[in-house]
Each structure stands twice: as structure tokens, then as C-alpha cells.
Chain A
Amino acid sequence: MAEMYFTKEHEWIKVTGATGKVGISEHAAHELGDITFVELPKVGKTVKQFDVLAAIESVKAASDIFAPLSGKVLAVNEDLDTTPETVNESAEEKAWMVELEISDSAELKNLMTQDQYNEFLKTL
């Protein structure tokens, strides 16, 4: 079963074995408001943990999306090019943005579990 981990910047990664799908949390999508644009990385790009991975824009703001873990981009969700509003409708399911090949699962210790993230949201 896939485990979900979160960053303090509100990205999530759903880890399945050596790969993980990345997106932003429902909380983040709600805070951003109507999403109008998602900039996805090129397949094959390698990123370090917490480097800029993608970008997102809403009617209100432009924000960077950071890589929850180091890895290589295996796939991107191209549906978001034409229907970025999917992020508002299904931030933690359909609106995955990037699939990463995880290079170091030890980095998971720098992320929050779902329960820890829920607690973290209460402190904001």
C-alpha cells in the first residue's frame, strides 16, 4: 500500500516501492484558490530534496513546488496542462504532478506522515 508523506511547504509524495507520485495538499490547493496553470518539469530531470520541482499559479498567486525527495522525473501528469483546475477538485488523487524515481528513501525522515501533517496544519 502506498504511504503518503508531506513537506512543510504542503507537497505530498505517495511512495510505492522505489517510486513516488508528487502533488500538493488539499490544504494548499484551497489556500491558493482557483488554479490556472501548472508548470511541469521535463521527464528525465533530476532533483535534490526540497529543490524547485514545478510551479503553480492561481488567480491570486504564483508559487514554486519543491521536491519532497531527491530523484529523477519518470513521468508528469500532462492533463494538468489543459485542466489545471483538477488541482482544486482532487489535489491528493487525480492531480498528481510528477512521478519520481526515489534516489534515497532515507530522506523520508525529513518528511511528515499524514498524522504529523494534520497536526502541523492545526499550528498554522
Chain B
Amino acid sequence: MAEQTTATPLNSRHRDLKALMAPFGGWDMPIQYEGIIAEHAWCRQKAALFDICHMGEFIFQGDFEAGGLEDVFTFSVKTIPVGRSRYGFLLNEQGGIIDDLIVFRLSEDKVMVVVNAATAANDYAVISQRLKGGAFTNITDQTGKLDIQGPLAREVMVSAFGEQVAAIPYFKFITMDILGVEAIVSRTGYTGELGYEIFIPADKVCQLWDLLLKDERVKPAGLGARDVLRLEVGYSLYGSDIDEVTTPLEAGLGAFVNFDKNFVGKEALLRQKQEGVAKQKIAFRVSSRRSPRHHYEILSDGRPVGSVTSGVFSPMLGCGIGIGFAAAGEYPLGMPLTICHERVSMEAVVCELPFYDNGSLRS
């Protein structure tokens, strides 16, 4: 039975480009155009354009503390300076991750929350339930989002929209006029490269796509390349690496949890801090070009210790890389592991994240 999917405004553009399409998070999305490896390379060397209209956007307007927003996420909203954004989590009472997300401080009393596609409807319901006041609106359908990522992204953006884009530092954004409408241009992304996420009204997103692709330094890239790019720099993918039965502490993402404030799930995390975690995230590098894949088993000394949650062949490293979860214990750098699935077996060693650290992200 075919999965019911929603089309982004760019669907016919992708089909014209002969993209391979597949369902992702309830949306009909481009997986690749010319090929995952070529698109990955273009993003690392030039500038790649991604249709990210599937992601969810919500607006909260009101008093952050009286409205209850301050206690919703693992980070403080009220201390985000206007014009900056912050990454963190929406947790359940057990400390499990309902979603990972970014909050953009638009003004003194207004934020935009950007969430994953597959989780957006549930996130909106959960957050609404936790709020005590203020106005909370789901603007996903009216909002288009394009990511332009790569070392040439700044030059491309400056050519298209002027010098004001050049000065935006990492995790800061500006509101500016693009194609006669108000758009948000944010120095954030999911690739480890210098880049921008652009939020624009959905009815202008096709025009913006066409405009950016006119620049010969820019090529479209699909979700296939995006997955390789994000794993090379060690970013978690919601639904694969993190989920409702995984806490930020288990996922090695405790840096995005502020224990000096209240949030749902705090008691569970404090308990976990005291008693220790049952599982932990590990990263490993394979000794061949073979790719670890989701659900492959991780063995240490012939003993199963966990399973792979994300794995790819890394073009930058020339070998397979992966992350997974293992029973809590000692996994020192260089420790040998075996990754197994049916007839497939590959040798690997524990390594550090990120796998690839030479991107243009902060340049």
C-alpha cells in the first residue's frame, strides 16, 4: 500500500530535474538528482541547495515565563538574544527525546520553533498542552524553507541578496526582504559547511529556488547526500539515532541540556545522572569501504554489545563510518569492534566525533 505523502511546493521542480523521489517523514522528497556522491562533493566544495520545506515551523508570541514556554525545552528561551537561535530538545517525562529542534528568537516576545517533519504534528500537540498562555501557531504549511550549504554559500548569497548576508555569524539570523517579502536568513545547517537556512512564505519558495539555481556555483542536492553530510560531522538524525526511548545523556548530547532551569524530563535526567545510563552512543570507523547500516549488530570480543543507528560510506574518509548505541561501559578510542549483519561482517574501531572536521562551517 502506498504511503500517503504531502508534496512540497517544489515537487514539480524535482520531477523536472528527474530526481529520485521517496517518502520521508510523511512527505514526498527528493533523495537524489545526479547522484549522492556527486551531490555530497558539490556541497563540500561549492554550494548545494536543499528543499527543506518538509520541516515544521511554529510561532509562539507572548510572555515566555507566564506562557509556560520557558519550561518546555531543555534550554532557556528567554536568554536567547534577539537575532540568535539555540538547539536543544523537547523531552517526555522519562527524559526521552520527543524531538530535537531549534528556537529562533524573533523579538522580545516572539520565537519561531523549527522541528523535524515526521514529528511536527505531535510536537505541536505536546507543546500546546504544556503552554499556559500566549499565542501558539503552526505555520508549517505557509512556510517554505531552503538550505544553501557549502564553502561558496556566502558568496552566492551576497551575489543574490547583497552584503548584509555576509556579516551573519554562526547561529545568528537576520530578517530581510527577499523577492518582495520578509524572509529569515539564518547561519545554520546540517552539513558541517558554511551555509544558510532561508525561511520564506511558501508561495515564494519556487521563485527563490529558481533564482539560487541560476547561479552556476549552486546545484540541487537531495536527502541522500544530506544524510552522508550530517553523519560525517556527527549530527544525530531524529528517528534513527535519537527517539522517545533515548535521553540526551545517553546520546552524548548533555551539552544541550540546561540543568539550572526547569523542563519536563528533568527529574528523570537527574536520576540518570546519578545512577548512570544503561546505554551510550559510540562512534566507529570501518577498516574497509563497507558501510554499516541501521540495525546492524555491534560486537566486542565476539559479544553483542549494541546496534548501529546510522552508517554510511564516507567519501571524505574513504571508509565506512557509523554511530550506534551500546551497553554502558568503557569504549576507549581505538577499541576494536565487529559490525555484523547476516553474511556481512566488518572490522571497526571506536573513534571520535565528528568523523570529519574540516568543513567550512565556521569560516
Contact = CB atoms under 8 A, between A and B. Distances in A.
A37, A64, A84, A85: residue with the most chain B Cβ atoms closer than 10 Å: A37
A60 B32 CA distance: 11
Contacts of B293: 62
Contact of B228 (A52, A59, A88): A59
A45 to B, nearest CB: 14
A26 interface: no
Contacts of B224: 33, 59-60
Interface in A86-100: 88
Interface in B258-302: 288-291, 293
A53 to B, nearest CB: 12
A57 B37 CA distance: 13
Contact of B291 (A52, A57, A88): A57
A57 B343 contact: no
Interface in A37-83: 37, 39, 52, 55, 57, 59-60, 62, 64
Contacts of A52: 343
Contacts of B320: 37
- Chain A's interface size range is 10 to 19
A36 B35 contact: no
Contact of B313 (A36, A55, A64, A88): A36
Contacts of B35: 33-34, 88
A36 B343 CA distance: 18
A62 B313 contact: no
B37 A84 contact: no
Interface residues of B, number: 18
Contact of B289 (A36, A60, A64): A36
Given A52-B343, A62-B344, A57 B290 contact: yes
A54 B293 CA distance: 19
Contact of B290 (A37, A59, A64, A88): A37
Nearest to A84: B289
A65 to B, nearest CB: 12
Contacts of A85: 37
Contacts of B291: 36-37, 57, 59, 62
B117 interface: no
A33 B32 contact: yes
Nearest to B31: A60
B36 interface: yes
A59 B35 CA distance: 10
B312 interface: yes
Interface in B21-64: 32, 35-38
A82 to B, nearest CB: 9
| Among A37, A55, A59: residue with most chain B CB under 10 A | A59
Interface string A4-34: 0000000000000000000000000000011
Contacts of A33: 20, 32, 35-36, 224
A107 to B, nearest CB: 23
16 contacts: A33-B32, A33-B36, A33-B224, A34-B35, A36-B37, A36-B291, A37-B289, A37-B290, A52-B343, A57-B289, A57-B290, A57-B313, A59-B228, A62-B293, A62-B344, A88-B35
Interface of B: 20, 32, 35-38, 224, 228, 288-291, 293, 312-313, 320, 343-344
